Amino acid sequence: MSTPNDAQQQEQQRVDAVIEQIKARAEQTDHLVVKAHYETDVIQKNYGDNNSVNTFEVDDRIETNAELQQQKQMVERAVESEAILKRQVGVLKDLRNSPYFGRIDIQDDPDDDAEQLYIGTASFVDDQQNFLVYDWRAPISSVYYNGTLGQVDYDTPAGKQTTELLKKRQFQIEHGEIKNMFDTNETVGDEILQSVLGEQNDAYMQNIVATIQKEQNDIIRDTYSDLLVVQGVAGSGKTSAILQRIAFLLYHSRASLEADQMVLFSPNRLFSHYISEVLPSLGERNMRQVTLAEFLSARFQGLSVQSLFERYEVDQQADATDRAVRDFQEGASFMTQVSDYCHQLPANELRFTNIVFNGETFFSRAEITAIATALPAAMQPADRFLSIKNTLIKRLKRRIDQEAEADWVHEQIDQMSDETYHDLLGDKRRGDFQSMDDEVFYIGKQIVTKRLRQVYDAIYNGYFLDTYEQYNDFLSQTTYPATITAETWQTRLQQFQAGIEYHRIALIDCAPLLLLRDILTGSGENRRMQYIFVDEMQDYSLAQLLYIKHAFPLAKFTLLGDSEQALFKGIEAPKQLLERLRDAFQVRRVNLITLNKSYRSTMQITNFAKALLPDGDQIQAFTREGALPKVMIRYGEDQALQGLLSEVTHQLTTTHTVAVLTRNLAESKQVYQYLKHHTVATLMADSDRTMPQGVIVLPIYLAKGLEFDSVIAYNISAENYPDQDSVGLLYTIASRAMHHLTLLSIGDVSPLIAHLDPTLFTIEHQVRV
């Protein structure tokens, strides 16, 4: 009878054999890389030489141009081939270390033999075309993640298939050695997950390919929904799942989807850096990443856009009136009002401005208004705007033709060097013209066109519409709800105007203003993007999400969040949220997936964190043991800081990173000022992209989406976290910790913690003398 040991030995033999083949392939690929690199070098050098040929003679230049184009493409192709080979080298290197993590034995038909398939991060096919390893994204691999033993279905491009799953085996292979091996009937058994999670540390997020859970697999492999909403508790693997999903989609739609046709809206730059290794570790290129602030700033050039963090810092004291205004402006109905306003706006109410050149009016506001009002009233705003632009460009061309004959132009031509003259001729040759006068007229036009480039750009970019004025006009006509008084609304208008005067714009105005601008000018849409992912969606207003939808009209959306972690607004039930989004997005195929199991933290930390929430019962802790969270109470700031220092020092003996999390920036600065005199510490800022190891100090909103070996929450006093409004903050802080959580309070502890079951944490009091 074969023993588990025999089985492991047999599997090890297979691992050894596969690794031998991988090594041989890696050697061949190394040679190919060297060859490809040499070829790229030759082509690049050749391109470089040709690029510096004398291009003074016009005829030469035209030929050289075509040739150079061709060469440039050759260089690009060579560089790309080399890059592909290098990626293969990377993939083979990873496979050599750990060729696979799973095995499934399946039987399609009782009369067939059972097949054994091995699953790893990438496919490996031997020279006889046998699949020694299947890519985890192959259709058949979903059986590994989804199925318990018995009959299982899986999707293939040809439709649903059924097979019998006879065995499922999990491996942990490191440096070619099987460290662990389990047969399991569960989707992916707990033993391996236990060991993976216990080893986790926080420098970069890891891929979870070997231990994807069933619900996570549903997120990853959803190719059907136009809008996929994931509501998952802290640490449930939402971010991990999106990254795996991106890798899956790239594989699934290889022929039609590029990594740069996917955008991930991430909460902050630290997060962008933190997750940057996941896709490369799966042999894929990273998608684009942008924070909301970056996205908005790019669209409001010249204005300083208030960031979510700035707003959070300044208005922690927002009153009921502020909240009413915010609820109104951030809702879907406000965006509908913007859209209605734009579509009903008569041409004579468009707020045009003069196009000015050299301090003088070139096209007056009155002239532009006249063009607009002459157009059919039923025209769509974007068509109307395009028509106005075209008319203005025609008029500009006419003015250029007139100006081309002016004396100053002729004088310039007379004094021009041959080289400049040839440059202005561009692709034309001297013989192309009927007469010398025609040639001079042509050159004259070139001179004037260059000079009036600014006017052209102003027309092309639609600068003749004052969108801020227009938005102001919209605000003055808005129907606001009864919760807002006329006086409050008037103040809001003045705030907006004052902001613009100082080149600033508040976050609540961004989405509606952009929508207004886009509808009226027919701009702002990016139709190339196929997938948009929004992480930490609870921090986005519906208006912002709607604007993002408007900006990427052809994209499918995946929105991930945890309403319990809402730092900036109240909590909303997932179903209710989905309904709201479905109505607002107006899409047919929606899907909601909820994740209730938390993987990040030890069971003790998750149990503590979930107890903070009024409805935390639904959260399931993953069974990984650790110490109870520790509450430290100190009676005075000096004692608290000393306590903090000793705790930090203690934590550093066992972990790489200790994060001291505070409620806001002021508190972080204060803590940092103290710590830096006693230990090496780093204060993190909004602009930081990388995170050092050691002691880092940061306000909680910058730690969104991140995780740390050890977390110390600074000052969780009753004064700092007085009531239910602070639940989201405390929960988010506590749920950042993977292995250790300490909560330090100056004076009385927050009632949110004081009311908890005392068995959930330990307390260390300062002895008062």
What residues make contact with ligand ATP under the rule CB under 6 A? 193, 196-197, 200, 206, 208, 211-213, 216, 232, 234-240, 562, 599-600, 705, 707, 735
For residues 249 and 224, the answer to whether their CB atoms sit within 8 Å is no
Minimum distance from residue 333 beta carbon to ligand ATP (Å): 29
Does 86 carry a binding-site annotation?
Answer: no
Whichever of 464 and 622 has its CB closer to ligand ATP, that residue is 622
Task: Report, in Å, the least distance between residue 231 CB and ligand ATP.
Answer: 10
Please check if 238 is assigned to a binding site. yes
Compute the least distance from the CB of residue 720 to ligand ATP, in Å: 21
The DSSP 8-state label assigned to residue 660 in this structure reads: E
At residue 285's C-alpha, the angle toward residues 280 and 287, to 5°, is: 115
Largest CA distance in the chain: 105
Give the DSSP H or E segment for 183. Answer: strand 177-183
Can you read off the two tokens belonging to residue 672?
A: 């940092």
- In the bound state with ligand ATP, the residue whose beta carbon lies nearer, of 206 and 321, is 206
Residue pair 22/99 in contact (Cβ under 8 Å)? The answer is: yes
Q: Report, in Å, the least distance between residue 70 CB and ligand ATP.
A: 46
Q: What's the sign of the alpha-carbon dihedral 242, 243, 248, 254?
A: positive
Task: State which residue, 381 or 561, has the beta carbon closest to ligand ATP.
Answer: 561
Query: Is the CB of 208 or the CB of 644 nearer to ligand ATP?
Result: 208
- Name the residue among 16, 11, 281 with its Cα closest to residue 171: 11
Q: Name the residue with tokens 């298939």.
A: 161
Is 237 labeled as ligand-binding? yes
Residue 239 marked as a ligand binder: yes
Nearest distance, CB of residue 622 and ligand ATP, angstroms: 8
At its nearest, how many Å lie between ligand ATP and the CB of residue 241? 7
Cβ distance to ligand ATP smaller for residue 103 or 238: 238
For ligand ATP, the closer CB: 240 or 291: 240
Q: What would the two tokens of residue 54 be?
A: 């004398």
Check whether 499 is labelled as a binding-site residue: no
User: How far apart are CB 689 and ligand ATP at their closest, in Å?
Assistant: 18
In whole angstroms, how close is the CB of 739 to ligand ATP at the nearest point? Answer: 11
Nearer to ligand ATP, 208 or 400 (CB): 208
Q: How far is the CB of 264 from ligand ATP (least distance, A)?
A: 12
232 annotated ligand-binding residue: yes
Are residues 706 and 736 in contact, defined by beta-carbon separation less than 8 angstroms?
yes
3-state secondary structure 267-327: CCHHHHHHCCCHHHHCCCCCCEEECHHHHHHHHCCCCEECCHHHHHHHCCCCCHHHHHHHH
What value, to the nearest 5°, has the Cα angle with vertex 496 and ends 494 and 498? Answer: 65
- Least Å distance, CB 235 to ligand ATP, is 4
The DSSP H or E segment spanning 372 is helix 365-373
Closest approach, Cβ 588 to ligand ATP, in A, equals 27
In this structure, what DSSP letter does residue 205 have? P
Taking the least distance from each CB to ligand ATP, the nearer of 445 and 610 is 610
State which residue, 234 or 551, has the beta carbon closest to ligand ATP: 234
> What is the C-alpha to C-alpha distance for residues 545 and 555, in angstroms, rounded to an integer?
13
Asked if 599 contacts 574 with a C-beta cutoff of 8 angstroms, the reply is no
CA-nearest of 680, 674, 682 to 642 is: 674
Which C-beta is closer to ligand ATP: that of 101 or that of 363?
101
Report the half-sphere exposure of 232 (CA within 13 A, side-chain side). Answer: 28
Residue located via tokens 């639904």 = 618
Q: Which is nearer to ligand ATP, 228 or 516 (CB)?
A: 228
Question: Cα(56)–Cα(599) distance, rounded to whole angstroms?
Answer: 67
- Tell me the residue number closest to ligand ATP, measured at CB: 237
Which CB atom, from 234 or from 702, has the smaller least distance to ligand ATP? 234
Torsion of CA 698, 701, 706, 710, to 10 degrees: 40
Is the separation of the CB atoms in 514 and 505 below 8 Å? no
Both tokens of residue 119? 């699953």
State how far the Cα of 553 lies from the Cα of 598, in Å rounded to an integer.
34
Beta bridge partner(s), residue 102: 119, 170
462: left (phi over 0), alpha (psi -120 to 50) or beta: left
Give the bridge partners for 167, in sequence order: 105
d(CA 178, CA 15): 8
Measured from the CB of residue 300, what is the shortest distance to ligand ATP in angstroms?
28
CB of 44 to ligand ATP, least distance (A): 40
Do the Cβ atoms of 644 and 660 come closer than 8 Å? yes
Q: How far is the CB of 271 from ligand ATP (least distance, A)?
A: 9
Is the distance from CB of 324 to CB of 480 less than 8 angstroms? no
* 193 versus 675: smaller Cβ distance to ligand ATP: 193
Of 98 and 213, nearer to ligand ATP (C-beta) is 213
- Going by their DSSP bridges, the two strands 504-505 and 355-357 should be labelled as unpaired
Compute CA distances 669 → 513, 641, 744, whole Å. Answer: 35, 13, 17
Q: Are 226 and 587 in contact (CB under 8 A)?
A: yes
Contact (Cβ atoms closer than 8 angstroms) between residue 275 and residue 266: yes
How many CB atoms are closer than 10 A to CB 652?
18
Sequence-distant (6+) residues with CB within 8 A of 509 are: 329, 471, 496, 499
Tokens of 490: 């008037």
Nearest by Cα to 12 from 132, 162, 177: 177
Closest CB 148 distance from ligand ATP, rounded Å: 17
Q: Judged by CB, which is closer to ligand ATP: 73, or 596?
A: 596
From the list 632, 647, 627, the residue with the least C-alpha distance to 717 is 632
Structure tokens at 228: 């996929």
Residue stretches of the annotated binding site for ATP: 232-239
